[in-house]
Structure formats: structure tokens, C-alpha cells
Amino acid sequence: MNSKYAPLFETLSFRSGIRVKNRIAMAPMTNYSSNQDGTVSDGEVNYYVRRSKGVGMVITACTYVTANGKGFHGEFGADKDEMIPSLRRLATAIKEQGAKAILQIFHGGRMCPPELVPNQETVSASAVAPEGEGQAVPRALEDAEIESIVKDFGEATRRAIEAGFDGVEIHGANGYLIQQFFSPHSNRREDRFGGSLEKRMTFPMAVIDEVKKTVQDHAKEPFLVGYRFSPEEPETPGITMADTLTLVDALADKDLDYLHVSLMDFWSTPRRGADDTRPRMELIKEKAGDRVPVIGLGSILTADDALKALESGIPLIGLGREIIIDPDWVEKVEQGKESEIVTKINKNAQEKLVVPDPLWQAIVNTPGWFPGVK
């Protein structure tokens, strides 16, 4: 290995006691490839095995915690105990390759396709449809239902523990239910779950507390809890950078193992709500301080990109699309072959890259999503 990349291969210990062998994580990416009944498919397992050897930890695609939270066709479930063997199969496959296995837990809220949820009824913080043509108006959740979904996040965490995962990541990003409660666009409530910025944080904080309590009650070995969020929303009203920094401040006080920022570009700058033109990652890192480590990602294509991101003070780097394009990304850097990293998708390499068909079709038919697809 070229010694300048040695910092990428330093170990890191989290607050929980979980320790990763390097500073690179596989980011969570939906793959649309689970079985019809919500169990993990052979294609999915093979896809993760192909990518789990080099990275320090693998954060899985999101799994729904309750039936009315299923957000994607071909998404695997953690909503009932019958799913534990399926979850165990995935955790075992990842861990056998030497990576820590982190299960991302989620509820899609108003973003769920109606045909995937009971009675075709989507739910959210308020009865406000997502922006865009022909979007369904969700039903506003009642207090008791909100409390029930909080418990569902705890139950999914218990299943993750029983299945042998090393941790869970709470999915509070990308416009799904937890973010819907934090967003002034989707949350127009005037009760304890909405109204002010602080009250809009009630649901996310309740989910964190429930997940942490579950870990305390059920985990016999170190088990980490991370939280993912999106820094801003394009909608008006919507989450601004100022709102996000308030959220980061609150999250940093929750004794989490890490915060994970969902970005397409690591170096992107705020749209609004900050008089500061520094990258969002820098502002978030500054607000989190030494209280909690931050995972940063977004268009980190080469070893030099990763090193530059790490040198900004962010202790962990996520690879998403990059590790689909080149599953051997980490090993190539480790073996001094960083110049051989592939940075554009090879449209003829599906079999070699071990990408399940539903995900492959999404990649090659979505111009601009992956480098190399026009």
C-alpha cells in the first residue's frame, strides 16, 4: 500500500465498543431485489458478499419496521419475528467476509407506494402529499399510532440483535417518515409532535430513545446505534441548513455511535439557512464537535478523494455507488493498485459485479445516477 493512504486503514472504536478495521463503510443503498414475502434473496446475499471483504462495515439497504412502512418493491422486512432467519442470513454473510454488519431500519411514511401498504393507505405526520404530479395524500397519524411505530423501531432493533447484526442505523434521511416529522413541509401538526422546530424533533428523538433502550435490554455484546439524516430539503417550507444544525446539536447529545450524512456530493454547500459558504459536511462536523463521529459520503470516486475527505476531519467515509461500480475498491487501495479503481459503470459487467437484476435495470435505465450512464 502507498503509505499516504495509511490513514484510511486505521481502526476506529465507537462509543458502544464496536471496532472497525478501517475508515471505509459501504453506504446503504436500496437494491429492489428481496423476495416477494420480504425475505432476503440469494441475489441480495451474493451482492453483499461481493462487497463486504474490504470495508470496515456494511450498512444494509433499509428494512421496514412495520407493514405500512414498506417503501420499495423488493425491500426486505424486519417487521415480524418470522423475518429473523432471513435477517440472520444477511448478517452472517456480511460478517463472514470480515465487515461489521449494520441493519438500516426505516419507515417510508408518505413516500410508500400505496400498492405496497395495507389498504393502500399511506401515512405521515400530516395529510400533506409529497410534491410532484399525482402523489397520494397520506393520512395523518394519530397519537397512539405514532407511539406504536416508535415501538416498532425498537422491535426491529431487537430482531437485529437476535439475528446477529453488530448495530442498527436509524434512517432519518431522504424524505422518509422520520424526516417527515422533522420537516415543516410534511409536518403541520400543532400537538407535541409538531408546531415548533423543537417539537418536530420529538418523534426522531423518541425513536432514538426506544432503540437505545432496546439495545440496553437485549444486547449481550456491544451493539451500535447510528442515525442518518439529509441536511436540507428543496421544498418550501422545508428543512434548512439552520434547522439541520439544530438537529445535529440535539443528536450529538444522544450518545449515538455515529451520525451519517446523506449527500450526493461530499463538498456540496448549503442552499439556504446558513450565511456560511463552507461545505455542509464542515458545518455539520463543527456542530457535532467531539461528541459524535460523522460518516461523510458523496461522489468519492478515487483513493485521493477519500483521503481528502478524511483530512477534512470526518473520521469515516461512506462508499455507495462507487462500491457498486468497483466492489474491489478498498482492496485495490490496500494492495497499492489504487490507479486501477474503476470509476464508471461498465454496462456489460453485471455478472462480474454481482448486481441483482432489479438494481441493475434501475442503474442502466436512470441517466445521470451512475457515472457512465447517459
Q: Which residues are catalytic?
A: 176
SS3 25: strand
Which sign, positive or negative, has the C-alpha torsion 197, 200, 206, 207?
negative
Which secondary structure element, helix H or strand E, spans residue 12, and what is its range? strand 12-13
Closest-CA residue to 77 (of 93, 91, 61, 92): 61
Q: Are residues 241 and 274 in contact, defined by beta-carbon separation less than 8 angstroms?
A: yes
* 3-class secondary structure, 325: helix
Residue identified by cell 442518518 is 228
Length of the chain (residues): 374
Greatest CA span in the chain, whole angstroms?
A: 58
Q: What residues contact 14, with CB distance under 8 A and at least 6 apart?
A: 20, 224, 257, 258, 293
- Residue 339: burial class (beta carbons within 10 Å; 0-12, 13-18, 19+): exposed
- Contacts with 349 (C-beta within 8 Å, 6 or more apart), sequence order: none
Give 258's DSSP letter.
E
Of 247, 333, 291, nearest in space to 56 by CA: 333
In this structure, the strands spanning 19-20 and 12-13 are antiparallel
Bridge partners (DSSP) listed for residue 25: 57, 318
Helices (H), 195-336: 197-200, 202-218, 241-252, 280-288, 303-311, 321-325, 329-334
Backbone angles phi, psi at 47, to 5 degrees: -60, -45
Task: Give me the residues paired with residue 224 across strands.
Answer: 167
CB 40 within 8 Å of CB 85:
no
